[in-house]
Amino acid sequence: MSSVLRTSRIVAARVAAAGAPRTAGVSAFRGSFAARNAAASVAVRAFSVSRASFEKPALRLGSPAPNFQAETTDGPIDFHEFIGDSWTILFSHPADFTPVCTTELGAFAQLKPEFDKRNCKLLGLSANGLESHGEWIKDIEEVATGGTKFNFPIIADPERKIAYLYDMVDHQDLTNIDQKGVAFTIRAVFIIDPAKKIRLSMLYPASTGRNTAEVLRVLDSLQTGDKAGVTTPINWIPGEDVIVPPSVSDAAAKEKFGEFKAVKPYLRYTKYPEALLKK
């Protein structure tokens, strides 16, 4: 029996006892029993409502990335079909024709060849329509360094359906709108693997532009870990030493990686596993 139900029955019994005739009888017992059941029923309903409010599936690391269909600047997509056998970075921005977002989209476009090398697609999202996106892309290209041409799709999500599906809407509230009447979409980043699983999520405030190099670094870490069976330390970049997971014995580590350095029994470094990554 749950603590909520047990407490409610105790309270109901005390209330019933206080108001019952002092001469015990069948009718008093039945009234007390009915009161207890009524109180318990109310408590169960209240507990069920409270529990239901927390049962919306959360987007957790390792959970499946929800599928959706959307219109983009490159045409309609089914998200899972778009991913295919690639890695994908899905990221949102508050609105078209805003300063921080304009710098971000240009930076991602400039770095896209590096993501391509890693078999990773880029997919942006904004709570604006296709016409707005098309005009905004002209500004992005004008501001981007090196004459970068815009080179990946942006989802048109004016009804904020996908933004809400991926928890990209500020305060979980579709009525929280800006001066243009657009629900405020936060800066979210998701890295999704070819198995359609969420491997990373990051949320940024509207005032802070993201770091494209960090997104690329995390992608390198995830791909290195998946292929070589290692983890990566603080501030790691490709080519630097990696960490042997604690689940791997010393003997197995020596067989797989060759030499390694044990700083602590649980902290062992080995060289960047270039040979394993080439297999």
Single-letter residue type at 30: R
- Nearest Cα residue to 66 out of 58, 77, 55, 74: 58
Q: What is the Cα–Cα distance from 271 to 62, expressed in whole angstroms?
A: 27
Distances (CA, A) of 121 to 83, 128, 190: 7, 21, 12
Conformational region of residue 261, where left means phi above 0, alpha means psi within -120 to 50, and beta covers everything else: beta
176 SS3 class: coil
Under 8 Å between Cβ of 154 and 72: yes
Region of 147 (left: φ > 0; alpha: ψ -120 to 50; beta: rest) is left
| Catalytic one of 39, 43, 70, 101 | 101
DSSP assignment letter at 231: B
Is 120 annotated in the active site?
A: no
The two structure tokens encoding residue 123: 């997919």
- The residues that are catalytic are 101
